[in-house]
Chains A and B, each alone.
Chain A
Amino acid sequence: MENLVARIGECVERGKVNKSSPYPRDMQGQEGTDELTRRALDAGVGPDEILQACSDGMKRIGDRFSRNEVFVPELLMSAKAMNAVMAHLKPFFQTGSVKAKGKFVIGTVAGDLHDIGKNLVAMVVEGNGWEVIDLGVDAKPAKFIDAVKQNPGCTVGLSALLTTTMVNMSRTIGEIKEQFPGTKVIVGGAPLTQKAADQMGADGYAPNPQGVVAFLNGGVQK
């Protein structure tokens, strides 16, 4: 039993989705998160325990990503492996027997169509046990305001890749803070720096997905 749970965590970290997946090469032909999660649940392992293993695995790969030991491809494969776990755990979330740590609203700001970074953050945060509400790309301030209204107590994450859309990021923060002063906003994306984030009035800046998780787990838990 222990072993199954540990293996799920390892498969998340290594990005092993299922038996037929060719990635990673040294695990070819072995079971991935898909099969292992099914087997663990069938054997009576609690979903909380599986979720914990999953988020531990995501943390390990997220930390390695922060240290630049692995890059986007590895993190994406881990997220894919994590999604396979989540697919099995979904019914438990729906019935409320497993609870999310809180809500995280994320989107790429107005005028920006880039979603690679935003998706990575969404997946890593979800893998850490948060409910993620993804507003997609080119999300206007009003869309964020609506989402905050519908999800009281949520934290908001704003993403931008284009330097030119940083102005919209700043505007979006302004509008959120005006209507919901208590809502925490964290920003990220290639052109961002801590200095730029401070100037925009963001509560946090993260240079990588694990930084967002640390921010969420650190202070804004509801």
Chain B
Amino acid sequence: MISFIETLKSGKVLVSDGAWGTMLQERGLQPGECPELWNFTHRSSVFAVAKGYVDAGAGMILTNSFGGSPIKLAHYDLQGRAAELNEAAAAISREAAGDSRFVLGSIGPTGEMLMMGQVSEEAVSDGFRLQASALKKGGVDAIIIETMSAIDEATIAIRAAKDATGLEVICTFTFDRTVQGEYRTMMGVTPAEMVKAVKDAGASVIGANCGNGFDQMIDVVKEIRKADSTTPVLVHANAGLPIVEDGKLIYTETPEIVAVKARKLAESGANIIGGCCGTTPAHIRALVKELKTA
């Protein structure tokens, strides 16, 4: 099988997976429960989410390890199990993906702010090293550091993951639209600043995830492309922002809507397209169908 990066160089748009959190919740994960613990306690449910995306035609899937850094797991008093929870996450996705699809090990932010001195750079770096190593051991092809908003934490994570595993590292940030119509993370980082910082730190794929639906993501990709025309760009977009109806979450962007927008995303320069919060295998199936001819 050719490597992840080589595949992207072929020029084809790779379809990624959709949401994990909302899918696990549909299978009974309660708010307040640790999603990564499910890699042990509800292995078949986690496997079903992964398999759902593989069956929908995704060319790559992520792992149920977004909150798997020891710092984040400490909220559940599970920091001591960080290695096994991450390794299990990777093994589940590997099993679902087989050898013909890529598996990217998901790493999310710690939730702590370095600038406030709540945690040390060393503790953050050590945590990411441990997490990335465990994901590699479980069988991932590359590491994806996602939903970042601060340059310091993101670059520490990239360096730690690369150094600990030697694997390719992808890094995505989450941008919001400002009242002036620009895009910034909550820490004030622009797409151009993100591009420079994460590439300097060693990321080989850049991009954006979560956010406010597919439309804004098209703008973000254009911004990224203004700053960098060659590095592969990955996008995981939300199915819009949800509303609550009869005690249930409803996402506004349906698979049909998303498919049309995905084509625009590809035309704007995205090389890997998938979903974040609210997207389902049905969304991914629609993307695969739409982008086959892209």
Question: Does B123 count as interface, using CB distance less than 8 angstroms?
Answer: no
A21-60 interface with B by 8 A CB criterion: none
CA distance A196 to B248 in the complex (A): 12
Among A66, A71, A114, A192, residue most surrounded by chain B Cβ atoms (within 10 Å): A71
- The 7 tightest CB contacts between A and B, nearest first, are A111-B31, A71-B188, A68-B178, A111-B32, A170-B244, A165-B31, A196-B243
Q: Contact at B242–A191, with CB atoms within 8 Å?
A: yes
Question: Does B241 count as interface, using CB distance less than 8 angstroms?
Answer: yes
* Contact with B184, one of A71, A162, A164 (Cβ below 8 angstroms): A71
Mask of B228-271 contacts with A, CB within 8 angstroms, 1/0: 00000000001001111101110000000000000000000000
* Contact with A163, one of B113, B116, B245, B278 (Cβ below 8 angstroms): B278
> For residue A138, which residues in chain B have a CB less than 8 angstroms away from its CB?
32
* Contact with B241, one of A74, A168, A191 (Cβ below 8 angstroms): A191
Question: Does B3 count as interface, using CB distance less than 8 angstroms?
Answer: no
Shortest CB–CB separation between residue B197 and chain A, in angstroms?
15
- Given known A-B contacts A163-B242, A170-B244, A113 and B22 have beta carbons under 8 A apart: no
A to B CB contacts below 8 Å, 27 in the list: A68-B179, A68-B182, A68-B184, A71-B185, A71-B187, A72-B149, A72-B186, A72-B187, A73-B187, A73-B188, A76-B113, A76-B116, A112-B31, A114-B111, A138-B32, A163-B241, A163-B249, A164-B21, A164-B25, A166-B244, A166-B249, A170-B244, A170-B247, A171-B247, A193-B243, A195-B243, A196-B243
Report, as a range, how many residues of chain A touch the other chain: 20 to 34
CA distance A191 to B178 in the complex (A): 15
> For residue B113, which residues in chain A have a CB less than 8 angstroms away from its CB?
76, 116
Among A162, A163, A171, A196, residue most surrounded by chain B Cβ atoms (within 10 Å): A163
- Given known A-B contacts A110-B32, A113-B75, A162-B21, A167 and B244 have beta carbons under 8 A apart: yes
* Contact with A199, one of B184, B188, B244, B278 (Cβ below 8 angstroms): B244
CA distance A114 to B25 in the complex (A): 18
Question: Does B10 count as interface, using CB distance less than 8 angstroms?
Answer: no
CA distance A193 to B242 in the complex (A): 8
CA distance A66 to B180 in the complex (A): 11
B185: nearest chain-A partner, CB-CB: A71
A169: nearest chain-B partner, CB-CB: B244
Question: Does A4 count as interface, using CB distance less than 8 angstroms?
Answer: no
Question: Does B30 count as interface, using CB distance less than 8 angstroms?
Answer: yes
Q: Contact at B241–A196, with CB atoms within 8 Å?
A: yes
CA distance A95 to B124 in the complex (A): 43
Q: Contact at A67–B187, with CB atoms within 8 Å?
A: no
> For residue A199, which residues in chain B have a CB less than 8 angstroms away from its CB?
243-245
> For residue A195, which residues in chain B have a CB less than 8 angstroms away from its CB?
243
CA distance A71 to B149 in the complex (A): 11
> For residue A170, which residues in chain B have a CB less than 8 angstroms away from its CB?
244, 247
Question: Does A133 count as interface, using CB distance less than 8 angstroms?
Answer: no
> For residue B21, which residues in chain A have a CB less than 8 angstroms away from its CB?
162-164
- Given known A-B contacts A76-B113, A111-B32, A164-B25, A200 and B244 have beta carbons under 8 A apart: yes
B211: nearest chain-A partner, CB-CB: A190
Question: Does B194 count as interface, using CB distance less than 8 angstroms?
Answer: no
> For residue B111, which residues in chain A have a CB less than 8 angstroms away from its CB?
113-114, 116
CA distance A20 to B277 in the complex (A): 43
Q: Contact at B31–A168, with CB atoms within 8 Å?
A: yes
CA distance A110 to B245 in the complex (A): 18
B106-125 interface with A by 8 A CB criterion: 111, 113, 115-116
A173-207 interface with B by 8 A CB criterion: 191-193, 195-196, 199-200
> For residue B238, which residues in chain A have a CB less than 8 angstroms away from its CB?
163
Shortest CB–CB separation between residue A194 and chain B, in angstroms?
10
Shortest CB–CB separation between residue A94 and chain B, in angstroms?
27
Q: Contact at B116–A167, with CB atoms within 8 Å?
A: no
CA distance A116 to B118 in the complex (A): 12
Q: Contact at A164–B22, with CB atoms within 8 Å?
A: yes
CA distance A72 to B75 in the complex (A): 23
Question: Does A220 count as interface, using CB distance less than 8 angstroms?
Answer: no
B135-183 interface with A by 8 A CB criterion: 149, 178-180, 182
Q: Contact at B184–A196, with CB atoms within 8 Å?
A: no
